[in-house]
Amino acid sequence: MAWMCSGRTNKELIQKMLDAKLIKSERVGAAMKATDRAAYVRYKEDAYVDSPQTIGYAATISAPHMHAHAAEYLLPYLFPGAKVLDVGSGSGYTAAIFHRLVTSEGKKGLVVGIEHIPELTEWSVSNLKADGLGKALEDGEIVMWAGDGRKGDLERGPFNAIHVGAASPQLPQALVDQLARPGRMFIPVGTEQQAVIQVDKDEDGKVTLKELFGVMYVPLTDKAKQWNH
């Protein structure tokens, strides 16, 4: 069970999720072991607890097992050289994991993180640098910017994989449109009742939706609304 996967170190946390089969792929396990969660949280003493944590501005970093689920479901599209959009990128943690999955085997991928709270965007860049990813930022392999993630990033799309880290009341069509052919999106949808939806687009552009499991995420919204939520 997820709450049994807390550890004393990052390596122990991830190994427990591997042992519990929450992480099924060695690629995901390796990327998460290489990404120390302590670099991306406010309260370092709780960095390796498998639970959400506030990061300020009414935002949270999800529990580690949720990030593991996201990486596992998106994994077929997180190949070396892939382009990834991370909406609601928060502390930068998932951007770091995705980078380590798509920039490997001699190929350079692209991870674009969009966060609507500028202060969190600035913090995420600092976190990524502290995690040894300053060069990836300089080289444009990771791009973090402040904006409305619901609109995606037309300039840098289409994206092989899109991860959304906050719940949208409905499926944003702009993000569906920016999926590559083929491509996959992992997105929580709903208000009082929420579920993660897997959105697949095939080579012909046909879109299919699959409900994965129920969740409770902070809303995907604008800065003013989130601060008043």
Catalytic residues: 62
- Cα(11)–Cα(201) distance, integer angstroms: 35
CA dist., res. 121 & res. 99, Å (int):
17
Per DSSP, helices labelled H in the chain are 10-19, 26-33, 64-74, 93-102, 118-130, 134-138, 173-177, 223-227
Residue whose structure tokens are 């998460």? 32
- 207-215 and 194-201: which strand pairing? antiparallel
Q: What is the DSSP letter of 63?
A: P
In this structure, the strands spanning 179-190 and 83-87 are: unpaired
Nearest CA to 152 out of 196, 183, 120, 194 is that of 183
